[in-house]
Amino acid sequence: MVTVDIDPGSGFCGGVIRAISRAERFLDGEDHLFSLGAIVHNEAELDRLGAEGLRTVASLSDVPESETVLIRAHGEPPATYDEARRRGLTVIDCTCPVVLKLQEHIREAYARLHAGGLHGTLLIFGKIGHAEVLGLLGQVGGDAIVVEDRAMLETVLPRIDFSEPVEIFSQTTKSPSEYAEICARVRSLGSRVTVHDTICAQVANRHEHLAAFALAHDILLFVAGEASSNGKVLFDLCRGVNPRTWRIGSPRDIDPAWFRAEPDGADGASAELRVGVCGATSTPKWLLEAVADAVRHT
Ligand code: SF4
């Protein structure tokens, strides 16, 4: 017998909910709206919004003059706003308030690191090329070092002068435990290191909660879009706790073999098989429900 639970903590974060509801409000009265980059890293939700008139563009130059463009929750560097103004575009700014605060803190840290002849270093733990990280770099003219993981940190350490101040920030959706490791390593190298706790509280809480959810189920279906960076982090966390975790994009990706009995009965085929369905901050609730329904009918 199979029972299916949907993780109550999975689904869109506040920043994504806010951006999507603003897009939908606009599209109530208009037949189209341009979004600079994918409003959410989830193909199924993008298809749904595309049918309502949301057109995703890779660059502002793809938006015709005097049109309206939405800036998503990840935020953008100041140069984007300058270009939009130059081209006469109307901007619906959906930068998440948490990201806006982080951008402000990074500008302030940069000013501190270079005040009175200092030559300090700004370090960002984030994914190179990710929109949020590009937005952060834009606040300081690109003058920061970005590291994606502990191994990359080791390669950049020789470039950092630890006799000068160093300040560290994290992209909002990174893993709290990896960030703690990175900060501990940098702190061990100098006494002028300041660590900023900038992982989004909604993401940090999910890490703790998801690990318990993964442990409480025999099989886990982790639903996330290919491009979701938060999806990768949370999937890795679930897989680390429960090796029978599968990452899928939609109900179509479910393999019935995952639920079949193993010869030794180790998967509890004769007893109850507990399947957990969870996802990233970019996974819509309706998609989690569709996956759960598909499992019940497998
Ligand atoms: S993860 Fe947090 S910071 Fe990032 S968009 Fe969502 S609510 Fe905002």
Q: What CATH number does residue 60 fall under? A: 3.40.50.11270
Question: CA 180 to CA 199: how far, in whole Å?
Answer: 11
pLDDT digits (tens, 9 = 90+) for 177-187: 999 999 999 99
Strands 273-279 and 68-71: unpaired
Ligand 1 centroid, distance to 200 Cα (angstroms): 6
Question: Are residue 92 and residue 31 in the same domain, yes or no?
Answer: yes
Question: Are residue 168 and residue 84 in the same domain, yes or no?
Answer: no
Question: Are residue 83 and residue 135 in the same domain, yes or no?
Answer: no
102: alpha, beta or left? (left if phi > 0; alpha if psi -120 to 50): alpha
pLDDT digits (tens, 9 = 90+) for 76-114: 999 999 999 999 999 999 999 999 999 999 999 999 999
Looking at residue 262, what is its pLDDT? Answer: 58
Substitution site in 16, 41, 100 for ligand 1 pocket (most atoms within 8 Å of beta carbon): 16
Q: Is the CB of 170 under 6 A from ligand 1?
A: no
Segment holding 153, helix H or strand E: helix 150-156
- Per-residue pLDDT at 8 exceeds 60: yes
Question: Are residue 120 and residue 136 in the same domain, yes or no?
Answer: yes
Q: Pick the last residue of a domain from 97, 120, 141.
A: 97
Average pLDDT value over all residues in the chain: 94
Substitution site in 98, 136, 228, 229 for ligand 1 pocket (most atoms within 8 Å of beta carbon): 98
Q: Pick the last residue of a domain from 57, 75, 97.
A: 97
Question: CA 77 to CA 72: how far, in whole Å?
Answer: 12
Question: Are residue 181 and residue 131 in the same domain, yes or no?
Answer: yes
- Per-residue pLDDT at 271 exceeds 90: no
User: Is 94:151 a contact under the CB 8 Å cutoff?
Assistant: no
Where are the strands (E) in the chain, listed by range? 2-6, 33-36, 54-57, 68-71, 90-93, 121-125, 145-147, 166-170, 193-195, 219-223, 245-248, 273-279
| Domain extent for 62 | 14-97
Q: Pick the last residue of a domain from 164, 195, 226.
A: 195
Question: CA 278 to CA 5: how far, in whole Å?
Answer: 9
Question: Are residue 239 and residue 253 in the same domain, yes or no?
Answer: yes
Question: Are residue 112 and residue 131 in the same domain, yes or no?
Answer: yes
Q: What is the mean pLDDT of residues 239-246?
A: 96
Q: What is the CATH number of the domain that holds 217?
A: 3.40.1010.20
User: Is 283:224 a contact under the CB 8 Å cutoff?
Assistant: yes
Question: Are residue 129 and residue 185 in the same domain, yes or no?
Answer: yes
Length of the chain as a residue count: 298
Question: Are residue 83 and residue 131 in the same domain, yes or no?
Answer: no
Question: Are residue 46 and residue 24 in the same domain, yes or no?
Answer: yes
Tell me which residue of 285, 293, 232 sits closest to 45, measured CA to CA. 285
Enter the pTM of the model.
Answer: 0.90
Q: What is the mean pLDDT of residues 134-139?
A: 98
Q: Which atom from ligand 1 is nearest to the alpha carbon of 99?
A: 3
Tally of domains within the chain: 3
Q: Is the CB of 172 under 6 A from ligand 1?
A: yes
